[in-house]
């Protein structure tokens, strides 16, 4: 990543708690029909590796998966996870989305989940993804669009959370409304054959609200989001505590729900 960029969420336990929930089914279903044994796949921004290992299962036998992440600590965690899962056709390494350490035309599929929203130059990253994709292969990306999130009830603390999150994310060089920009970014990167779809994450059941509300209550005070919000003046400590309390109130409200829209692209190289 370019020096001006910072990962908005960081790697606090409350962040990893949400990342380890992710699978192909809940985070890359749009790509699932394209997965087949024998293919090679690069997972950019692979994080703790749960989606990556799921890919590896689906590409076996004969296929292989490489996951890269900017954090050496997260690469080590993902490697341990893969070993524990017995996934022998997946490897993890530190990598840079703008300068992939692979030859041209290496992979059948290059995948990025919730990555482009954090980059200051997503078009440059997509061009790099295209470079390492085989002719006729695909680049697949999925990103949330915070501007389209639906929160019920719209508690004042959660409305404020949306404002603070937007300011923090943009101050780190990213685009929190990335979902709606994906198609344009892909076109600007030189792709001409695109499939564009959408899907949502919806948290509404008692269990889902407890999990989602609890992790954001913790993130609001303890993840990288908090010191950055303080640093740029988007919120004070009292404001962050009010946001955290609002998430806990939301989680305990039986009628509450939270919907996150995502846009997805499959671009042919």
User: pLDDT tens-digit profile of 36-47?
Assistant: 999 999 999 999
Residue 114 covered by a domain: yes
Cα separation of 134 and 3, whole Å?
Answer: 30
Report CA-CA distances (Å) from 199 to 25, 126, 177, 178.
Answer: 12, 21, 15, 14
Residue 193 covered by a domain: yes
Cα separation of 255 and 205, whole Å?
Answer: 9
Question: Which whole number is the average pLDDT over 49-69?
Answer: 97
Residue 8 covered by a domain: no
Residue 92 covered by a domain: yes
Residue 6 covered by a domain: no
Instruction: Domain count for the chain, please give it.
Output: 1
Residue 215 covered by a domain: yes
Residue 1 covered by a domain: no
User: pLDDT tens-digit profile of 178-190?
Assistant: 999 999 999 999 9
**Of the candidates 109, 103, 102, which has an alpha carbon nearest to the alpha carbon of residue 42?**
109
Whether 29 shows a pLDDT value over 70: the answer reads yes
Cα separation of 73 and 92, whole Å?
Answer: 11
How many C-beta neighbours within 10 Å does residue 73 have? 10
**Of the candidates 4, 3, 2, 10, which has an alpha carbon nearest to the alpha carbon of residue 229?**
10
Calculate the average pLDDT of the chain.
Answer: 93
User: pLDDT tens-digit profile of 160-169?
Assistant: 999 999 999 9
CATH number (domain holding residue 186): 3.40.50.150
pTM of this structure: 0.92
Q: DSSP assignment, residue 44?
A: E
Cα separation of 151 and 186, whole Å?
Answer: 29
Cα separation of 4 and 121, whole Å?
Answer: 11
- The tokens for 240 are 């962050």
Run of H or E including 134 = strand 133-144
Whether 100 shows a pLDDT value over 90: the answer reads yes
Which structural domain, as residue segments, surrounds residue 98?
A: 13-268
Q: Where are the alpha helices (DSSP H) in the chain?
A: 13-19, 24-27, 50-59, 72-85, 122-131, 156-171, 178-188, 206-222, 225-232, 237-251
**Are 261 and 149 within 8 A, CB to CB?**
yes
Residue 116 covered by a domain: yes
């Amino acid at each position: 990543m370019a020096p001006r960029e910072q990962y908005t969420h960081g790697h606090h336990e409350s962040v990893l708690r949400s990342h380890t929930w992710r699978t192909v089914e809940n985070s890359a279903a749009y790509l699932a029909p394209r997965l087949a044994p024998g293919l090679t796949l690069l997972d950019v921004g692979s994080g703790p590796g749960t989606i990556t290992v799921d890919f590896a299962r689906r590409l076996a036998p004969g296929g292989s998966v490489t996951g890269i992440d900017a954090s050496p600590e997260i690469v080590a965690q993902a490697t341990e996870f893969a070993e524990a899962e017995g996934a022998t056709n997946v490897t993890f390494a530190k990598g840079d989305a703008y300068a992939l350490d692979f030859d041209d035309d290496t992979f059948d599929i290059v995948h990025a989940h919730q990555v482009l929203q954090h980059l200051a130059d997503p078009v440059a990253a997509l061009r790099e993804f295209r470079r390492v994709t085989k002719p006729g292969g695909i680049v697949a990306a999925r990103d949330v669009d915070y501007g389209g999130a639906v929160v019920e009830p719209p508690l004042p603390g959660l409305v404020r959370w949306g404002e603070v999150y937007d300011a923090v994310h943009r101050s780190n060089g990213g685009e929190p409304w990335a979902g709606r920009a994906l198609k344009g970014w892909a076109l600007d990167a030189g792709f001409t054959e695109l499939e564009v779809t959408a899907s949502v994450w919806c948290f509404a059941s008692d269990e889902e609200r407890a999990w989602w509300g609890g992790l954001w209550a913790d993130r609001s005070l303890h993840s990288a989001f908090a010191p950055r919000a303080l640093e740029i003046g988007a919120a004070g400590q009292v404001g962050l505590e009010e946001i955290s309390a609002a998430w806990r109130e939301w989680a305990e409200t039986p009628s509450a729900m939270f919907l996150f829209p995502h846009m997805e692209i499959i671009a042919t190289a």
